[in-house]
Amino acid sequence: MSSGAPGAPNGTPDRHQVVVAIDVGGSRMKCALVHRDGTVARIEHHPTQTARGPAAVVDTILDIAEALADTARHEGLAPVAFGLAVPGVIDEAAGVAIWSSNLGFREVPLRTLATARLGMPAVLGHDVRVGGVAEARLGAGRADRHVLFVAIGTGIAAAHVVDGTAAAGAHGAAGELGHVLVRPGGPRCGCGRAGCLEAIASAAAVARRYAELTDSTPGLSAAEVVAHATAGDPLAQQVWTEAVEALADGLAIGQTLFDVETVVLGGGLARAGAQLLDPLRAALHDRMTFHREPRLVPAALGAEAGCLGAALLALDSLEKR
Beta carbon nearer to its own copies, 13 or 169: 169
Beta carbon nearer to its own copies, 151 or 168: 168
Beta carbon nearer to its own copies, 216 or 256: 256
List the beta bridge partners of residue 20. 33, 82
DSSP state of 166: E
Q: Which residues, in sequence order, are CB contacts of 243 under 8 Å at separation 6+? A: 200, 201, 205, 206, 209
141 vs 261: CA distance, rounded Å: 9
CA angle, 23 then 48 then 54, to 5°: 95
List the beta bridge partners of residue 53. none
Nearest distance, CB of residue 151 and its own copies, angstroms? 15
Nearest distance, CB of residue 108 and its own copies, angstroms? 17
Q: Are 131 and 159 in contact (CB under 8 A)?
A: yes
> What type of residue is 152?
I
Binding site for its own copies (CB under 8 A): 89, 99, 144-146, 158, 160, 162, 167-177, 179-184, 191-193, 249, 252-254, 256-261, 287, 289-292
Nearest distance, CB of residue 89 and its own copies, angstroms? 7
Beta carbon nearer to its own copies, 89 or 223: 89
Q: What number of residues does the chain have?
A: 321
State the pairing for strand pair 89-91/28-35: unpaired
Nearest distance, CB of residue 227 and its own copies, angstroms? 28
Q: Which residues, in sequence order, are CB contacts of 277 under 8 Å at separation 6+? A: 265, 296, 297, 298
| Nearest C-alpha neighbor of 196 from the set 271, 125, 142, 249 | 249
Beta carbon nearer to its own copies, 59 or 261: 261
Beta carbon nearer to its own copies, 73 or 171: 171
Beta carbon nearer to its own copies, 45 or 193: 193
Nearest distance, CB of residue 169 and its own copies, angstroms? 3
Nearest distance, CB of residue 75 and its own copies, angstroms? 41
| Nearest C-alpha neighbor of 197 from the set 263, 140, 246, 135 | 246
Nearest distance, CB of residue 130 and its own copies, angstroms? 17
Beta carbon nearer to its own copies, 98 or 211: 98
107 vs 96: CA distance, rounded Å: 6
Residue 218: cis peptide before it, omega within 30 degrees of 0: yes
Nearest distance, CB of residue 288 and its own copies, angstroms? 9
For the chain, state the CA radius of gyration.
20
